[in-house]
């Protein structure tokens, strides 16, 4: 069966405070990077999925986001699917 790679970006919704981003921002300021105005930290997840076609792979990735990878109350997700095996299109 063809293999697809799903690249998923999980980011905090803009209205949610991001303490990890704040900490990184402070660290950068302390190192002299005063031109950095804002930092947001999220997750980037790569799934390797065996599927008949791209749409099926997308569905698997989306269900995974909804059930495991993202918290729908505080986070947004974005999915992009690319072919990972020569037989995938």
Q: Give dist(CA 58, CA 4) in Å, integer.
A: 9
Query: Minimum CB separation from its own copies for residue 85, in Å?
Result: 11
Mask for 43-72, x = binds its own copies (CB under 8 A): xxxxxxxxx--------x--xx--xxx---
Q: How many CA atoms lie within 13 A of 65 on its CB side?
A: 25
| 30 neighbors 77 (Cβ within 8 angstroms) | no
Q: Which of 13, 16, 33, 72 binds its own copies (CB under 8 A)?
A: 33
Q: Which of 17, 19, 37, 73 binds its own copies (CB under 8 A)?
A: 37
Nearer to its own copies, 30 or 73 (CB): 30
Calculate the alpha carbon distances from 51 to 37, 43, 59, 66, 67 in Å.
Answer: 42, 24, 10, 19, 19
- Name the residues that contact its own copies, by CB under 8 A: 3, 9-11, 21, 24, 27-28, 31, 33, 35-51, 60, 63-64, 67-69
């Amino acid at each position: 069966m063809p293999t697809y790679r799903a690249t998923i970006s999980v980011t905090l919704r803009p209205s949610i405070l991001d303490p990890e981003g704040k900490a990184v921002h402070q660290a950068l300021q302390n190192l002299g990077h005063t031109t950095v105005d804002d930092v947001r930290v999220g997750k980037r997840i790569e799934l390797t999925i065996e599927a008949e076609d791209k749409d099926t792979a997308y569905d698997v990735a989306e269900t995974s986001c909804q059930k495991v990878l993202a918290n729908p109350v505080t986070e947004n997700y974005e999915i992009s699917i690319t072919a990972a095996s020569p037989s995938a299109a």
